[in-house]
């Protein structure tokens, strides 16, 4: 199997990640923060190490401002619903994932409005389109860092500077960027950043986080037992416990720490260079085939390792099915939980074929995919 669906989740997972999860189950087993015995204490140290690893990866931010969540989706919901109030206004883009679009649509019922910046047909954002949408009530700009459809990287630092000048908060959805490119929230004026553990960070599913800059307060999305201040029936005020009620996914977070260690060993710059090289090669190879439509920025050197394409007169789901069943190549077809993005690049409602590479993919994988698509085109043209 050639796995080219790393934008959905990374595969294969490093052996160290699998070993760390197994070690937790076999040797630790305790519930973090729920007792004074050795297994619980060691479980707490696992969570602390993972939190510090994430903080280090983000330019040594304050670890207590890293909130562990089950996913980027939950982290984004916590950011929106813990921050915004009736009357607030949000500016976002037409390239966002449903993890942004659906919460914003739901918040309209609470009197929280939003405006979409239309991106170009190639999915690119012009930051000069933002100021006309800013209102006195604008509290937040919500921006995807890297598109899960086209791989385009958004001008996050430029938008962050603009947001700071206007006194507006910036929330970044880094689902496709974490572990693939260096990110420094302080340098880029990012106030909140949501990310997954199971994609570019190579960790298990069921892990994610929200970074919240110091001085910015949120309301918790849920309340309950935290293992601290158990004498009180009020939710504690301390970070990060205030936002982590219930039992954390400690085995998953143990695996995430191992995944981060592998990312740091490989090097973020090296990962970015490798994945961009593969995508450039894929775009070049596919562009030589008849009937191929490529989407996203023409400059693949400024993208993550994701590329969307279609074969004229063939449904994207049919192409993906043939690649899977006849060639053992795993790609994803459809709308990728981002219908607004597909409307922007004019591929709605059918979608695209999406290939997304990871650090363990090779040039041979890319050549095999191009050859397979070439054969599919040849068979259909007979």
CATH number of residue 373's parent domain: 3.90.1150.10
Q: Which of 266, 298, 325 is the last residue of a domain?
A: 266
Give the residues across from 330 on adjacent strands. Answer: 3
Question: Does one domain contain both 20 and 101?
Answer: yes
- One domain, residues 248 and 114: yes
**Catalytic-labelled residue, pool 68, 303, 316, 337:** 337
- Tell me, yes or no, whether 261 and 274 share the same domain: no
Q: Examine the residue annotation and report whether 119 is marked as an active-site residue of this protein.
A: no
Q: Are residues 45 and 186 in the same domain?
A: yes
Please give the average per-residue pLDDT across 250-257, as a whole number.
Answer: 98
Q: What is the total count of domains within the chain? A: 2
> Are 201 and 300 in the same domain?
no
- For residue 177, pLDDT over 70 is answered with yes
Check whether residue 273 and residue 232 sit in a common domain: no
Q: How large is the average pLDDT for residues 91-109? A: 98
pLDDT at 122 over 90: yes
Domain region containing 120? 15-266
**Pick from 37-41, 255-259, 315-319, 368-372: least confident:** 37-41
Confidence tier at 236 by pLDDT (50, 70, 90): confident
Residues 187 and 277 in one domain: no
Among 266, 288, 307, residue at a domain's last position: 266
Whether pLDDT at 69 is above 70: yes
Average pLDDT in the 354-381 region? 95
Answer whether residue 228 shows pLDDT above 90. Answer: no
Say how many CA atoms lie within 13 Å of 49 toward its Cβ: 20
Helix 268-287 vs helix 250-266: angle between axes, to the nearest 10 degrees? 80
- If you average pLDDT over every residue of the chain, what do you get? 96
187 and 293 inside one domain: no
Q: Are residues 323 and 185 in the same domain?
A: no
Based on the fold, state whether residues 147 and 282 are members of the same structural domain.
no
Residues 289 and 162 in one domain: no
pLDDT of 59 strictly over 60: yes
The reply to whether 222 and 305 lie within a common domain is: no
CATH assignment at residue 91? 3.40.640.10
Write the pLDDT tens digit of every residue in 3-30. 999 999 999 999 999 999 999 999 999 9
Please state the rounded mean pLDDT for residues 67-79: 98
pLDDT classification of 382: cutoffs 50, 70, 90 = low
**Strand 138-144 relative to strand 66-69, pairing:** unpaired
Planar angle of CA 41, 46, 52, nearest 5 degrees? 125
């Amino acid at each position: 199997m050639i796995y080219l669906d790393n934008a959905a989740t990374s595969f294969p997972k490093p052996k160290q990640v699998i070993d760390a999860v197994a070690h937790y189950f076999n040797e630790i087993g305790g519930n973090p923060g729920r007792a004074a015995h050795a297994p619980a204490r060691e479980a707490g140290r696992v969570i602390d190490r993972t939190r510090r690893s994430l903080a280090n990866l983000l330019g040594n931010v304050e670890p207590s401002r890293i909130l562990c969540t089950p996913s980027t989706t939950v982290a984004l919901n916590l950011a929106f619903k813990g921050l915004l109030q009736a009357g607030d206004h949000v500016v976002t883009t037409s390239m966002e994932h449903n993890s942004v679009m659906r919460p914003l649509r739901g918040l309209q019922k609470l009197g929280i409005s939003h405006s979409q910046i239309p991106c170009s047909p190639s999915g690119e954002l012009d930051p000069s389109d933002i100021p006309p949408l800013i209102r006195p009530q604008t509290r937040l700009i919500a921006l995807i860092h890297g598109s899960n459809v086209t791989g385009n990287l958004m001008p996050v630092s430029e938008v962050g500077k603009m947001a700071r000048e206007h006194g507006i908060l910036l929330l970044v959805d880094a689902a496709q960027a974490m572990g693939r490119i260096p990110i420094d929230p302080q340098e880029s004026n990012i106030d909140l950043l949501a990310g997954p553990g199971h994609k570019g960070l190579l960790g298990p599913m069921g892990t994610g986080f929200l970074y919240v800059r110091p001085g910015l307060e949120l309301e918790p999305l849920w309340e309950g037992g935290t293992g601290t201040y158990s004498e009180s029936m009020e939710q504690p005020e301390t970070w990060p416990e205030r936002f982590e009620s219930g039992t954390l996914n400690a085995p998953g977070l143990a695996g995430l720490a191992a995944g981060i260690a592998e990312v740091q060993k490989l090097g973020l710059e090296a990962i970015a260079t490798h994945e961009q090289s593969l995508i450039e090669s894929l775009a070049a190879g596919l562009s030589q085939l008849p009937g191929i439509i490529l989407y996203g920025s023409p400059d693949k050197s400024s993208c993550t390792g994701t590329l969307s394409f279609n074969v004229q007169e063939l449904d994207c789901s049919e192409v993906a099915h043939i690649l899977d069943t006849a060639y053992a190549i795993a790609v994803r077809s459809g709308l990728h939980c981002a219908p607004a993005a597909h409307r922007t690049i004019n591929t709605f409602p059918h979608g695209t074929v999406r290939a997304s590479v990871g650090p363990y993919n090779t040039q041979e994988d890319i050549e095999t995919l191009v050859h397979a698509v070439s054969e599919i085109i040849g068979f259909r043209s007979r």
